[in-house]
Chains A and B, each alone.
Chain A
Amino acid sequence: MTVNRLRFFFSNNHCIMQIHLNGSPKTITDSTTVAMLLKELGVPFTSVVVELNKTIIQPDSYATTSLQDNDQMELIRFVGGG
């Protein structure tokens, strides 16, 4: 049984779900927004670009974009390169 099918409720009615973050599974609660997740991860908003299911999310939408079960999320940033 995969985690994303294993739904159970916390006392505050939040449901646990699973997304794919940079190719790895990540468990979050169902009301998590992009902004909340970035904050939890300690990633400064200004230095990254967020792609959700292959669509780029603009920074002014981070706080209003809620993550859904099974979302594919990519957090990308610049690194040294030729």
Chain B
Amino acid sequence: MLTIGGHTFNSRLFLGTGKFSSSAVMKQAIEASGTEMVTVALRRVDLENPEDDIMSALDRDKCVFLPNTSGARNAEEAIRLAHLARAASGSSWLKLEVTPDPRTLLPDPVETLKATEELVRSGFIVLPYMNADPILALRLQDVGAAAVMPLGSPIGTNQGILTAFQIEIIINQARVPVVVDAGIGAPSHAALAMEMGADAVLVNTAISVAGDPVAMARAFAQAVEAGRTAFVAGMGSRSKQAQASSPLEGVLATDLGFLA
């Protein structure tokens, strides 16, 4: 079973709650996904809709709440958001996101490392969103990250696992759980990440903007489970040469000589 920050998770699918068409659809998708960890963002209250509150649609008994620091452009802003998140949620879970460039939304490695170090010291359970950089993953776990979250491809692009080579190295080296985050656009992408040995995946856009988000949540749950089972079962090694599946001995050599 997967343990992060002292909490045990049965499901290895984490869900983002952005871009759902309604709270009702989001609630059903969460249910269908079987997830036990959902991310949320912090924003200014819309004073035109003061009662609008996502928390009322989420069941905190079933799901760990993972606030993110999206919108932060540097460590200072991320740390400020982290403290607001802790005050609002009453818990220390944090998905650290530092994205200075709104065009790529790629994470700033230096500011992410700086913020992780400080937030760990302040008692946060920090899951940093990071580029798929194996050395950075080591540095982040060294300063106390509870897990690392390398990207498959940029946020919201649905491009899948473009960073497979680096993610494999991260998984092989990591002493903390590896959660592949961002860019996972199809259940097959999630299955691939899990087959590679990722501990979990975080999916948002691919589910929330699907034609039927609830059915898609179910598809992702199945893919994550299939990928994990395959990883545990032990995948065969790859070969460039064909290897016959059927036995080569005892072939009927006379009439069917071409089989030899």
- Do A44 and B16 touch across chains, with their CB atoms under 8 A apart? no
Taking CB as reference atom, which chain A residue is nearest B95? Answer: A82
A49 at the interface (CB under 8 A from B): yes
B83 at the interface (CB under 8 A from A): yes
1/0 per residue A59-75: CB within 8 Å of B? 00000000000000011
- Do A49 and B87 touch across chains, with their CB atoms under 8 A apart? yes
1/0 per residue B18-43: CB within 8 Å of A? 11100000100000000000011111
Q: A56-B83, A82-B16 are in contact. Are A41 and B39 (CB under 8 A)?
A: no
- Do A77 and B87 touch across chains, with their CB atoms under 8 A apart? no
- Do B44 and A81 touch across chains, with their CB atoms under 8 A apart? no
Taking CB as reference atom, which chain A residue is nearest B129? Answer: A82
Specify which of B44, B54, B70, B208 is in contact with A74 (CB 8 Å cutoff).
Answer: B44
- Do B70 and A80 touch across chains, with their CB atoms under 8 A apart? no
- Do B50 and A78 touch across chains, with their CB atoms under 8 A apart? no
Residues of B within 8 A of A51 (CB): 84
Q: A41-B50, A42-B50, A47-B55 are in contact. Are A81 and B41 (CB under 8 A)?
A: yes
Interface residues on A, range: 20 to 34
B248 at the interface (CB under 8 A from A): no
- Do B54 and A80 touch across chains, with their CB atoms under 8 A apart? yes
Interface residues on B, range: 35 or more
Please, how many angstroms separate the alpha-carbon atoms of A74 and B18 in the complex? 22
Specify which of B20, B41, B45 is in contact with A43 (CB 8 Å cutoff).
Answer: B45
Please, how many angstroms separate the alpha-carbon atoms of A74 and B45 in the complex? 8
Minimum distance in angstroms from B89 CB to a CB of chain A:
7
- Do B53 and A80 touch across chains, with their CB atoms under 8 A apart? no
- Do B41 and A76 touch across chains, with their CB atoms under 8 A apart? no
- Do B80 and A78 touch across chains, with their CB atoms under 8 A apart? no
- Do B70 and A81 touch across chains, with their CB atoms under 8 A apart? yes
Residues of B within 8 A of A43 (CB): 45, 47, 50-51
B68 at the interface (CB under 8 A from A): yes
Chain B CB within 10 Å — which of A42, A51, A81 has the most?
A81
- Do B18 and A77 touch across chains, with their CB atoms under 8 A apart? no
Please, how many angstroms separate the alpha-carbon atoms of A51 and B19 in the complex? 26
B204 at the interface (CB under 8 A from A): yes
Segment 23-38 of A: residues with Cβ below 8 Å from B: 23
Q: List 18 A-B contacts (CB under 8 A).
A: A22-B44, A41-B47, A48-B88, A51-B84, A76-B84, A76-B88, A77-B43, A78-B41, A78-B55, A78-B67, A80-B20, A80-B54, A80-B208, A81-B18, A81-B39, A82-B18, A82-B39, A82-B70
**Which A residues have a C-beta under 8 Å from some C-beta of B?**
21-23, 41-44, 47-49, 51, 54, 56, 58, 74-82
**With A76-B42, A78-B55, A81-B41 already in contact, 17 other A-B pairs whose C-beta atoms are closer than 8 Å:** A23-B44, A41-B47, A43-B50, A47-B55, A48-B45, A49-B87, A56-B84, A56-B87, A74-B44, A75-B47, A79-B41, A80-B16, A80-B18, A80-B54, A81-B70, A82-B16, A82-B39
